[in-house]
């Protein structure tokens, strides 16, 4: 019952925008230059996608922590989730600065990601960790693509995305070291296809 209450609290805080970062938001070394309207719109759309990714990360880690019976692994999921909460709060703050809104479909994204994480966790810890590794690797590549697409002088968004990329790589390495199983190619392809649909929709909605 306690675990279910924690999962419910995480869901409510994530979807309502009530999450708070434990670490300071990454800042550029110098004051960023003002953005033109089209640049601000592009940065807002990309950061909305990143915020959706963090909504999904909260759901995945919450579900995987709920599913595992391994106490040490549960603590690993919970620690990673706390760092992902930082990402969630940072991207939300940046959206506000850009005058952009979060995705209107965040409750849907959260519910879908939670269901996927729960299924992966029920299959077994090795599969759950393998799913986490593949997710984090794909997110890392996605963030690298955003660093290429963000306006060159949007150093505020770039600082956040760069720190997120470093954290995601560390989470993937930790899951791999904990005994992750390699996912079959069709599963990896399906994950990429689902991520493509999500990112395309999140840019607009």
SS3 99: coil
CB atoms closer than 10 angstroms to residue 195: 17
- What phi-psi label fits residue 99: left (phi over 0), alpha (psi between -120 and 50 degrees) or beta? left
Find, among 131, 2, 123, the residue nearest to 56 by Cα: 131
Query: Cβ neighbours of residue 71 under 8 Å, at least 6 residues apart?
Result: none
Residue 135 has pLDDT above 60, yes or no: yes
Find, among 81, 95, 4, the residue nearest to 52 by Cα: 95
Mean pLDDT value across the chain:
84
Structure pTM?
0.87
**Percentage of residues in the chain having pLDDT higher than 70:** 93
Q: What is the CATH number of domain 36-204?
A: 1.20.1260.10
Query: Cβ neighbours of residue 76 under 8 Å, at least 6 residues apart?
Result: 174, 175, 178
Give residue 150's pLDDT: 92
Q: What is the CA radius of gyration of the chain?
A: 16
């Amino acid at each position: 019952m306690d675990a279910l209450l924690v999962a419910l609290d995480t869901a409510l805080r994530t979807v309502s925008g009530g999450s708070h970062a434990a670490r300071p938001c990454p800042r550029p070394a110098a004051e960023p230059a003002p953005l033109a309207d089209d640049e601000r719109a592009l940065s807002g759309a990309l950061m909305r996608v990143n915020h959706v990714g963090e909504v999904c990360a909260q759901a995945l880690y919450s579900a995987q922590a709920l599913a595992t019976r391994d106490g040490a692994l549960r603590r690993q999921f919970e620690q990673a989730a706390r760092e992902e909460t930082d990402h969630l709060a940072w991207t939300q703050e940046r959206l506000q600065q850009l005058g952009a809104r979060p995705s209107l479909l965040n409750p849907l994204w959260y519910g879908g990601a939670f269901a996927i994480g729960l299924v992966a966790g029920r299959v077994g810890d090795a599969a759950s960790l393998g799913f986490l590794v593949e997710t984090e690797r794909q997110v890392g590549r996605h963030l690298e693509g955003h660093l290429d697409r963000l306006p060159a002088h949007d150093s505020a968004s770039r600082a956040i995305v760069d720190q997120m990329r470093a954290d995601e790589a560390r989470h993937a390495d930790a899951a791999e070291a904990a005994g992750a199983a390699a996912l079959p190619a069709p599963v990896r392809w399906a994950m990429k296809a689902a991520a493509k649909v999500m990112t395309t929709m999140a840019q607009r909605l």
